[in-house]
Structure 1
């Protein structure tokens, strides 16, 4: 037996300090952080810009407000533009070098039709307690006439021929298009998924040409998705309450409008 073994303490001979468990230290409880150093939460930029735009331009309760999903196209290159941003943003109004196209592919149209139909079925189940979605399928025909200063559009129901607009044009229409639309009404919003059929222009016949006449091209199909505020008067009333600093749901309604656009845009499959 060596000296180190003789001088080594047995477990029960340890010092008093080691007999007592050291007190445990706990991290302070994590509390919810304050929204900012000033204790306030600034409005989101998208919400602020859209709210200000509506306040500025919505001068009557009958104003139509809608948002469309689509693509920004460079007028020079005829191609879709790519912005140096990683999330949604607002462009300055004076952008004459680009245009907006509200069309989508048939694949994307079918996708939106599927998810909106599925959501309609979910909200109409007996145990569902939220707002139900109302479904409506319409077929319309737009005829465009030449007016004194601008084109006049007359919309009729394709099946009943009932005129759905109040314009009274004269002469023959200069253009016609057919719209096959399914609408999903949820709260104050209407989600309109439309297939537009535009007849192709008839080819000009050369009286000196020989052989059979040229065939008429196939009609052009355009697929669109738009979100419309179906109850603009309610939004108008809430806007006036907001301006008066009274209790209102104006920003909540505008935020819901934005949310619906963002949810659908993010779910879109590639073309």
Structure 2
């Protein structure tokens, strides 16, 4: 028997042929990475409306509630799924206060992290507003409303603060593996003159807005009038900060030019997914 002391494993040097080599692979045989199905579906959905004048493109986080059970929708899906039969469910964007605080903490941390002197990426912008929305009858369409937004501290109408919001389309995405689902909405925000019609209702908004990567993140506490809607609502929504820039990139894509449209949609969807996955689990 060999009596020589065997070296420890960590002292053994493997021959070059036995060493593990990490090879950076191309994303596919074609050299490209395909966009996933849901993101492509969202991109195609937004593309139908992005060139409209005064378009707003936003996503709200929440849950889809089955109208029959009054519980979160269960359809046997195992991955993200586009929902069609909206008659069977409703979307609930209101979240508990503790969930709202959780997102507030997460987003505040990103502000602090990106403000560091040695931070190399895009810094997160932050703004806190306290405003009042007043809704008036539309003189031309009884289904729509004129919205007048004022600063609570001064009573002054904010910039672009008088609009008629016109609903265009919704896309509902159920995420059974995550705490929250999401709805992407397309609306028109048409500038209007101060209305002389009847006031319908008003609500107060305490909002913290964050902006990064061309996306605005709004954490909003909404309180209606005491007699009409006394409950406080807590919402989180994401919106393209400049839909005109997105429309310009879509037009480039249509002309077969180099375009950032797919990547801009991916950033939007990535943010929605990461926020949903980071939500508190019940």
Indicate the TM-score class for this superposition, using the shorter chain for normalisation.
0.7 to 0.9
Alignment partners' CA distance in 1, 2:67 and 2:128: 35
Q: Which runs of 5+ in 2 are unaligned?
A: 1-16, 163-191
Q: Partner of 1:188 in structure 2?
A: 214
Structure 1 runs of 4+ with >3 Å offset: 25-42
Report the CA distance shift for 1:118/1:39 in structure 2 as closer, same or farther (over 3 A).
closer
Q: 2:120 matched to 1:121?
A: no
Alignment of 1:65-80 (within 5 A): 65-80=57-72
What do residues 120-178 of structure 1 show as CA deviations (whole Å, max 9, x unaligned)?
Answer: 01101111111011110001111122223233222111112122224422244221110
**Which structure has greater strand proportion?**
2
Alignment of 1:80-229 (within 5 A): 80-92=72-84, 94-148=85-139, 149=141, 150=143, 151-163=145-157, 164-165=161-162, 166-201=192-227, 219-229=230-240
| 155-164 or 239-248, larger mean C-alpha shift | 155-164
Q: Which runs of 5+ in 1 are unaligned?
A: 1-24, 203-217
Report the CA distance shift for 1:139/1:39 in structure 2 as closer, same or farther (over 3 A).
closer
Alignment partners' CA distance in 2, 1:99 and 1:231: 29
Q: 2:273 matched to 1:265?
A: no
Secondary structure of the 1:64 match is strand
Report the CA distance shift for 1:109/1:29 in structure 2 as closer, same or farther (over 3 A).
closer
> Alignment length, in residue pairs?
233
What do residues 46-77 of structure 1 show as CA deviations (whole Å, max 9, x unaligned)?
Answer: 12101111111222363111111011012333
Q: Does the Cα contact within 8 Å between 1:177 and 1:199 map onto a contact in 2?
A: yes
Alignment of 1:215-254 (within 5 A): 219-254=230-265
Alignment partners' CA distance in 1, 2:49 and 2:222: 29
Q: In terms of Rg, which structure is larger?
A: 1
TM-score (structure 1 length as normaliser): 0.77
Alignment partners' CA distance in 1, 2:213 and 2:268: 11
